[in-house]
Structure 1
Amino acid sequence: MKITSLPTPCVLVDQHRVERNIDRMQGAAEASGVRLRPHAKTHKSLDIALTQVGRGAVGICCAKLGEAEVFADRIGDIRLPYPLQPVNAERVFALLDRTRVSFIVDHLEVARGWSGVIRGAGREVDVLVKVDVGFHRCGIDPDAAGAAEFVARVADLPGIRFRGLLSHAGHAYG
């Protein structure tokens, strides 16, 4: 088949280049002594995510619940590094029935809301506190008065399994 005969739009992927890039990133993570959890928002491909996990990634990140729902049956650990509201509890619980899920909080009232919903359902959820490292889109200010107390209060909430801090320095690319 010639490339000019393909129906459009279509996606063409250089599989060798994808695998080389995955191996390069996995190798860099391992050389630094860190675990790699790539974001699926760029490729949105189950095949690529499976390749990433198969080559050493501990899981993936998804930008939205809908993306996580697509990956949930085949990827064993999904992180949503964005704030979720408790109104999404049923969808999160449905995901938890299919895979391991974690998400972030950055407001105490939202964390308390999650705690109430989680307790009411007799569940537990893995939660991280998002730390703002420069973009001021979400996350707590690490220099603000009460930042450490905020983290401690979230960690003490029933139903929440505090898993640590999460930050993303997207402005550091390039």
Structure 2
Amino acid sequence: MNSRVILLGATGYTGDLVLNALIRRGVRPTLAGRNPTVLTALAERSGGLDHLVVDAATPDGLGKHLQRGDVLITTVGPFERFGFPVARAAADAGAHYLDSSGEVGFVRTLRDRHHQRARETGAVTPPAFGYFATGPIWRGISQGTRTTMRDGITLPSARRRRRVLVEERTASRVRRFII
């Protein structure tokens, strides 16, 4: 079977941006998401694309659809919540994994958790391929990005202390400047 590009989270805000960019470049991805009605309608509107009903919260269901050499693009965040199991499913299958995460802690931990397994199966797992929002900010930030920002306030951030990277709670050290 030929390798496929699978877009997980295709029905969301960021998924829509990625889908349109892929189609403009002549790529016909297999769409993946949890809502069969919305997914089917999107697949039909996008020229009759193949689609899979899967839920990022249950990656075993996703794993049975992945094959060695597939490219899995996921836009399902927050990635601290949904990204690790999806990346594991891809690494186990030998599918290449890309995501739209901007979560620093997730990006750092992803390599520790799944890089070696991905290498063993011939896959790569580059996170944080990102996208650019244009126009008014209220149209440029998805619900998922807002959730990521909210959740990120309580997650540790990396910072350098005496030439060593350490993690500490975001904004745990705040300085006041009088201008």
The two structures have a TM-score, normalised by structure 2, of 0.37
Instruction: Report 1 or 2 for greater relative contact order, CA contacts < 8 Å, sequence distance ≥ 6.
Output: 2
TM-score (norm 1): 0.38
